[in-house]
Amino acid sequence: MRKIIHIDCDCFYAAVEMRDDPSLRERPVAVGGRPESRGVLSTCNYAARKFGLHSAMASSQALKRCPDLVLLPPRFEVYRAVSRQIHGIYADFASLVEPLSLDEAYLDVSDSPHCQGSATRIAGAIRDRIRSEVGITASAGIAANKFIAKVASDWNKPDGQFVVHPRDADTFVAALPVGKLFGVGKVTAARLNELGARSCGDLRDWPLPKLIQHFGRFGHRLYELCRGVDERPVSNEQPRKSLSVETTYVHDLPDLASCLDEMHVLITDLKARLERAHDVPLPYKAYVKIRFSDFSHTTVECLSTAPGPDTWARLLAEGFARRSLPVRLLGVGVRFEEERAEVRQLTLFTP
């Protein structure tokens, strides 16, 4: 039986800012871009969340909801240094650590000799050290797989932890809203709700062919997750799956022509980043991301190992035609080929 811990630092960027300036502790604080440059919030503390603020919210909207908000520019070098310190603590307890971001990671402590082998005690010891040595708090979820551990880490936030014992896992997952499943966003959750599946228990009544009919290959994943099945190992070797660049514009780009004019800057930046990247597989897809003035967004992609200006222009035109509204954000990117034999398409007459 595996013992997996998911650690998530509480409002990480804002927590570091409050640690470095204690006068901010009782005030609503957010880290993000300035409203005049169409910035968005990266994170905010719990005092700010009482006003309905959340990550990815436009800074201008956040300041309207909370006029007393302290909006700070991000200090990524500081956050990266704090993250390295926290990952040093993880390494004292587990050899298998899978970072998800600067402030979030999975740990496999199945064979850890620490704390008499108790994952619950290890999680508590890690959180105690983060609090005393780093000066911020973290929450943890403990379970037999990554999916349940990640859900559990949200259960007692902030500065808490929650254990889902294997004997309780089936009941715990059955009661979860379908929106808690990996890969289920607002749109998919709403669709599932409309089809009568509000909880994972509801979704278990669906046969696999029905899930595949409605959701394609993702139906397989839904079938497993709603039953609490997640066999993914904790891995500290995570290959890069994509690389992209994007820009939010101070003034909306009014039409397709102006978007095309800006596209070459993004393409140049992406090519430079690809040249600097090391040990990445070959690109196999190109994509364009667009966010319109009404905050709706779309992504268009195609198979391409060496996308050129014509490829990007075609993708942009296709995406723009979906709304034909002024554009506030443009992004271009590539997805890298997965080097697993089972995902390669065989020819019809392969011997």
Catalytic residue list: 104
Measure the CA–CA gap between 164 and 170, rounded to whole angstroms.
10
Name the nearest CA neighbour of 329 among 263, 275, 278: 263
Contact 225, 182 (CB under 8 A): yes
The answer to whether 103 is a known ligand-binding residue is: yes
**Interior/surface letters 316-341, b for 16+ CB within 10 angstroms, e for the rest:** beebbeebebbbbbbbbbbbbbeeee
Tell me the two tokens of residue 106: 């999975």
The answer to whether 202 is a known ligand-binding residue is: no
Measure the CA–CA gap between 4 and 51, rounded to whole angstroms.
34
- Please say whether the dihedral angle defined by the alpha carbons of residues 62, 185, 140 and 241, taken in this order, is positive or negative: negative
Residue type, 156: N
Measure the CA–CA gap between 345 and 307, rounded to whole angstroms.
21
Q: Is 75 helix (H, G, I), strand (E, B) or coil?
A: coil
Burial of 243 (0-12, 13-18, 19+ CB in 10 A): middle
Cis ω before 281 (30° cut-off from 0) = no
Measure the CA–CA gap between 125 and 115, rounded to whole angstroms.
8
Burial of 195 (0-12, 13-18, 19+ CB in 10 A): middle
Tell me the two tokens of residue 8: 């998530």
The residue assigned the tokens 């005092």 is: 47
Name the nearest CA neighbour of 31 among 63, 68, 91, 75: 75
Binding-site positions for Mg(2+) read 8, 103
Binding-site positions read 8, 103
